[in-house]
Chain A
Amino acid sequence: GAVVSQHPSRVICKSGTSVKIECRSLDFQATTMFWYRQFPKQSLMLMATSNEGSKATYEQGVEKDKFLINHASLTLSTLTVTSAHPEDSSFYICSARTSGTFYEQYFGPGTRLTVT
């Protein structure tokens, strides 16, 4: 149980375009999902917390107009990187928390975004 999927696993896009990444909880309902960004050889940095049916909460320094998050259902959250630039190239990982747990998070496999 507690499986989280992400799609796509890899994406290459051109500067100025937008990219959507999907995060799904496959066998449980996720009231809260988290979006992280990870640069090579660095730790996971929380970008935002996504709650079903409400606006996302962004961490300090994360541009909410650039990284659009939508958590439309209890099993799906999406992250859209708008007007992508090469510096947005990174590994994006989502995680999900069930309503029955307070701290335990289950991670998706990640999406490697390359902006050319």
Chain B
Amino acid sequence: GENVEQHPSTLSVQEGDSAVIKCTYSDSASNYFPWYKQELGKRPQLIIDIRSNVGEKKDQRIAVTLNKTAKHFSLHITETQPEDSAVYFCAAPRTYKYIFGTGTRLKVLA
């Protein structure tokens, strides 16, 4: 079955700097990779996703890259702002279900 590892578990960056979070997966058949942002006590919000037929997708300050050969995908946040502080989760599908990464607590320091 699918296994998802996420690093780092915590990440502190200065406002304006970039943040990168990486996930690795085990099932080579996985073909959809979402990233979620979760603020304290709230629901996970989908911020970006990528399908396996592309290597990169960008949405303003957020981008996701996918390396199918190495089985890893990364979230890139540029020009970080204090409101980017949250926990970020990656996920990979196992049949119709999601397997979530362990999460990365991002702190953007003003």
A78 to chain B, nearest CB (A): 18
Contact B41 A46 (CB under 8 A): no
State which size class the interface on B falls in. Answer: 20 to 34
Which of the 9-residue segments B56-64, B65-73, B98-106 touches chain A? B98-106
Contact B32 A103 (CB under 8 A): yes
B67 to chain A, nearest CB (A): 19
Contact B96 A93 (CB under 8 A): no
A109 to chain B, nearest CB (A): 5
Contact (A93, B89) CB under 8 Å given A44-B100, A49-B97: no
* Residue numbers in B under 8 Å from A44 (CB-CB): 44, 89, 100
* Residue numbers in A under 8 Å from B97 (CB-CB): 34, 46, 49
Chain B binding surface SS class: strand
Select the residue from A93, A103, A104, A107 with max chain B CB neighbours within 10 A: A103
With an 8 A cutoff between CB atoms, is A105 at the interface?
Answer: yes
* Residue numbers in B under 8 Å from A108 (CB-CB): 43
Contact B41 A105 (CB under 8 A): no
Contact (A105, B98) CB under 8 Å given A44-B44, A93-B43, A93-B44: yes
State which size class the interface on A falls in. Answer: 20 to 34
Contact A43 B89 (CB under 8 A): yes
With an 8 A cutoff between CB atoms, is A54 at the interface?
Answer: no
Chain B interfacial positions (CB closer than 8 Å to A): 32, 34, 36, 41-46, 49, 89, 93, 96-103, 105
Q: What are 11 A-to-B residue pairs whose CB atoms are below 8 Å?
A: A32-B96, A34-B97, A34-B98, A42-B102, A43-B102, A45-B100, A46-B99, A103-B32, A105-B98, A107-B44, A110-B42
